[in-house]
Amino acid sequence: MTDLERITPNEAVSEERVREILHEEVTPTLDRILAELRALRGEE
């Protein structure tokens, strides 16, 4: 389970922590997805 999944809707989360989670978990995932899409389209 990732840090992002551990946060419950009722928890107060600092903006700094949200930025950390985005940087650590969301950005790499989006980068991987974009790389896969580029490869499928032959844009590597």
Give the model confidence (pLDDT) of 1-44 as tens digits: 667 677 666 667 788 888 888 899 899 999 999 999 999 999 76
Given this model, what pLDDT does residue 38 score?
Answer: 95
pTM flag (> 0.95): no
Token output for 14: 């600092």
Tokens of 41: 């389209």
* Token output for 15: 């903006």
What are the angstrom distances between the C-alpha of 6 and each of 14, 34, 35, 36, 42? 14, 26, 27, 27, 37
Q: 20-44 burial by CB neighbour count: b if 16+ within 10 A, else e?
A: ebeeeeeeeeeeeeeeeeeeeeeee
Q: Residue 12: what pLDDT?
A: 73
